A = this chain, B = another copy of it.
């Protein structure tokens, strides 16, 4: 659809994806994982987009992680069925029925489990459907979000799985979500190295009990350089590296002297719609255009140097600047960075994919709102 100057004619606010930066980020992480000898199963909760999943798989990824069953269904509906791993337990009766349906369509589907009651429910549903369902044990790194909290609990859960004819044990998941944004690299390394001991203990206990732990999946964009040093993981489930955002932009992703591998690929274009106050213009992007839990979106271009964004309600934001010539004018385009990429993406129907000012494509965010 290549449209010269097409970006400037888009209705705003609009979610912009820089194709060159995206491709560069995908290639850089693929090369990084290959060098480390680990498989790459990127997390689709970041992008929720079959087009991006296909680019990652083409670059060598073994599949896609999905935070929820609904995300996995959205990928499968678009034909992306390879190596799907659902990284949260699927627990409710209607959800387990959908899981079994998806397992019939998406070969090699995997789901994590963290409780024997859930394992029994999965076993019962898979058995009735005449299926084998692949499962991983989720290990809690101390966040108390999901996962088993002790070796004893892991072993009891494994025995439940091992005794379930319709379930096949694949390995474990260990994701340190709370540590991804520790600002200093060395602090982050120390936290992860300590937490990894818990995973090692659980894995040792499972092996001692007779389990074959063929997969250890986890890791994130904030810790990927640390994750590969642990000798723990067989694969990485990084997500945000494809876009980068304010949160990761403020973290040192490599040790001192290490090169930055990833660049900002995701932006929001907005426009000035009111300009009646000295030092302040209002743009058409507010609480419904950005995730709000990670601070204000940084301004990338289109406003005087040093200008700051401030939320001004559902549909508006202020761009506040010190006296500058030329002052922003009605209709001017202002480009901002997502404060937190995943929930920002979840507000939009599509990526507008650009190279510079040329609109190259529009990719539907098929998994938007698919949190069920």
From B89, B118, B277, give the contact of A144 (CB < 8 A): B277
Segment with Cβ contacts to B, from A9-17, A31-39, A49-57: A9-17
Q: Report the Cα distance A13→B330, complex, angstroms.
A: 40
Q: Is the CB of B89 within 8 A of A371?
A: no
Q: Is the CB of A331 within 8 A of B274?
A: no
Q: Report the Cα distance A271→B118, complex, angstroms.
A: 13
Given contacts A94-B9, A284-B68, A293-B293, contact A45 B273 (CB under 8 A): no
Q: Which residue of B lies closest to A98 (CB)?
A: B11
Q: Is the CB of B274 within 8 A of A315?
A: no
A312 at the interface (CB under 8 A from B): yes
Given contacts A284-B88, A311-B293, contact A146 B273 (CB under 8 A): yes
A114 at the interface (CB under 8 A from B): yes
Q: Report the Cα distance A292→B343, complex, angstroms.
A: 10
From B114, B287, B318, give the contact of A276 (CB < 8 A): B114
Complex interface: chain B residues within 8 A of A271 (CB)? 91-92
Complex interface: chain B residues within 8 A of A140 (CB)? 276-277
Q: Report the Cα distance A338→B292, complex, angstroms.
A: 15
Q: Which residue of B lies closest to A71 (CB)?
A: B315
A124 at the interface (CB under 8 A from B): no
Complex interface: chain B residues within 8 A of A91 (CB)? 271-274, 284, 330-331
Complex interface: chain B residues within 8 A of A11 (CB)? 70, 92, 94-95, 98, 372
Q: Is the CB of A118 within 8 A of B284?
A: no
Copies assembled: 2
Given contacts A45-B315, A146-B316, contact A118 B372 (CB under 8 A): no
Enumerate A58-98 residues with CB–CB distance to B below 8 Å: 67-68, 70, 88-95, 98
Write the nearest CB–CB distance from A315 to chain B, whole angstroms: 5
Q: Which residue of B lies closest to A89 (CB)?
A: B273
Segment with Cβ contacts to B, from A253-261, A345-353, A354-362: A345-353
Write the nearest CB–CB distance from A368 to chain B, whole angstroms: 8
Q: Is the CB of B115 within 8 A of A343?
A: no
From B144, B275, B277, give the contact of A280 (CB < 8 A): B144
18 interchain pairs, CB-CB under 8 A: A11-B98, A12-B92, A13-B371, A13-B372, A45-B314, A88-B316, A89-B274, A91-B271, A92-B273, A114-B274, A117-B330, A146-B273, A146-B274, A149-B277, A177-B313, A287-B291, A292-B293, A349-B369
A93-B331, A293-B311 known; 11 new pairs, CB 8 Å cut-off, are A9-B93, A12-B372, A89-B273, A91-B330, A143-B312, A146-B276, A149-B277, A153-B276, A177-B313, A288-B371, A291-B292
